[in-house]
Amino acid sequence: MSSDLLHFALVGPGIMPIPPPGWGAVEILIWDYAKALEALGHKVTILNDKNLGNVVETIKNIKPDVVHIQYDEHAHLAGAISPHTKIVGITSHFGYFEQPEKWGSYRDVFYSIIRQYQPNTYHFVLSEGIANVYRQAGMPDEKIIVVPNGANHTQFKYTTEPTLLDRSIYLAKLDYRKRQYLFQNIPALYFAGNPADHRFNTASPRYLGEWSKEYLYENLTQYGNLVLLSDGEADPLVVKEALICGLGVVISQWSTAGLDLTKPYITVIPENRISDLAFVESEIRRNREVSAEYRHEIREYGLTFTWSRLVGEYVKKIGVLIA
């Protein structure tokens, strides 16, 4: 490697494979980061082991330039690994990060994260909103680096002639935080994701099951728009993926990280209207109609979130820290 190229070690949760066969946003993100870094000429080692002792030993042996911990519950590793690398980065993907009143037991995890005082440890946060939570906890600005999520434009098909333009897709794991059950009776709204919420009727003809990654890459572009009305998100990958595929988005206020909310094809449902199903349905329909007219512009805006661009910025920020 040339002197400008770096060796990155990306630390995953150790819960499921990287890349994952289906659901697994953090695992997909780590894989896409790795591929984008390698495309720039950098060396990448993915460490995705439940045995954290193995992770620490591997880092001691390979001595990478950068260790990026992409799972907040592994933040405590920073103390053991910081002497064996130039930079330790820690990222949280916790959906309720900006809502401390919903933390519960996560509060202990958060304080474990911010207790990492090593001189070469930094907090790589997904949005300005998350950065503000760190600031309010006393973290100095020079320790906070904003690195937003993106999407892999090389994987997703894009078409200007979608076959399901009159349908909206709610693409997410079916769970309490994503709130699909509230909207399951809205006509023209279809759902895909692995079920983990008994309140959702999986016998519905508009429940499409869990999509494989291959099916997702090929078919997301066929829909009119994407809906994501979670009650907590950090920086959801699926929103960027939808934009890259030419879909407008109807999102909750918690799903807006990094977006230009003046765009006519980005509709934010206020939290105080989230239970007004007639309003939500009309906004989904309106967004779908507007988005059909802006499909190419949506695609172009989505391409500003490609991993190739965002990871290039990430490397530049790390270069400043190392210099």
Q: Is the pLDDT of residue 2 over 90?
A: no
Taking only the tens place, the pLDDT of each residue in 245-300 is: 999 999 999 999 999 999 999 999 999 999 999 999 999 999 999 999 999 999 99
What pLDDT was estimated at residue 3? 57
Domains and their CATH numbers in the chain = 7-150+306-322 (3.40.50.2000), 164-304 (3.40.50.2000)
Three-state SS across 259-275?
A: CCCCCCCEEEECHHHCC
This prediction has a pTM of 0.92
What pLDDT was estimated at residue 1? 46
Name the residue among 124, 100, 128 with its Cα closest to residue 257: 128
Categorize the per-residue pLDDT at 21 as very low, low, confident or very high, splitting at 50, 70 and 90: confident
Are the C-beta atoms of residues 180 and 170 closer than 8 Å to each other?
yes
What pLDDT was estimated at residue 199? 96
Average per-residue pLDDT in the chain?
A: 95
Kindly state the DSSP code that residue 200 receives in the 8-state scheme: S
| Average of per-residue pLDDT across 164-179 | 97
Categorize the per-residue pLDDT at 20 as very low, low, confident or very high, splitting at 50, 70 and 90: confident
Are the C-beta atoms of residues 234 and 93 closer than 8 Å to each other?
yes
What pLDDT was estimated at residue 25? 83
| Average of per-residue pLDDT across 217-224 | 97
- Strand residues in the chain grouped as ranges (E): 7-11, 43-47, 66-69, 87-90, 121-125, 144-146, 164-171, 189-192, 223-228, 248-252, 266-269
Structure tokens at 310: 């965002």
Name the residue among 70, 86, 85, 165 with its Cα closest to residue 123: 70
Taking only the tens place, the pLDDT of each residue in 44-101 is: 999 999 999 999 999 999 999 999 999 999 999 999 999 999 999 999 999 999 999 9
Q: How far is CA 80 from the centre of its chain?
A: 27
Q: How far is CA 62 from the centre of its chain?
A: 28
80 residue type, one letter: A
Instruction: Give the span between the Cα atoms of 261 and 270, in whole angstroms.
Output: 13
Residue 113 backbone phi and psi in degrees, to 5:
-65, -50
Structure tokens at 257: 């990280």
Kindly state the DSSP code that residue 62 receives in the 8-state scheme: H
Q: How far is CA 262 from the centre of its chain?
A: 21
Residue 45 backbone phi and psi in degrees, to 5:
-120, 125
Categorize the per-residue pLDDT at 119 as very low, low, confident or very high, splitting at 50, 70 and 90: very high
Name the residue among 89, 70, 85 with its Cα closest to residue 18: 70
DSSP string, 241-305: HHHHTT-EEEEEGGG-TT--TTSTTEEEE-GGGTT-HHHHHHHHHHHHHHHHHSHHHHHHHHGGG
Q: Is the pLDDT of residue 244 over 60?
A: yes
Q: 35-54 b/e with 16+ CB inside 10 Å = b?
A: bbbeeeebebebbbbeebee
Q: How far is CA 139 from the centre of its chain?
A: 23
| Average of per-residue pLDDT across 20-29 | 83
Categorize the per-residue pLDDT at 213 as very low, low, confident or very high, splitting at 50, 70 and 90: confident
Categorize the per-residue pLDDT at 4 as very low, low, confident or very high, splitting at 50, 70 and 90: confident
Strand 66-69 versus strand 87-90 pairing type: parallel
Q: Is the pLDDT of residue 222 over 90?
A: yes
- Within the chain, what is the greatest distance between any pair of CA atoms? 59
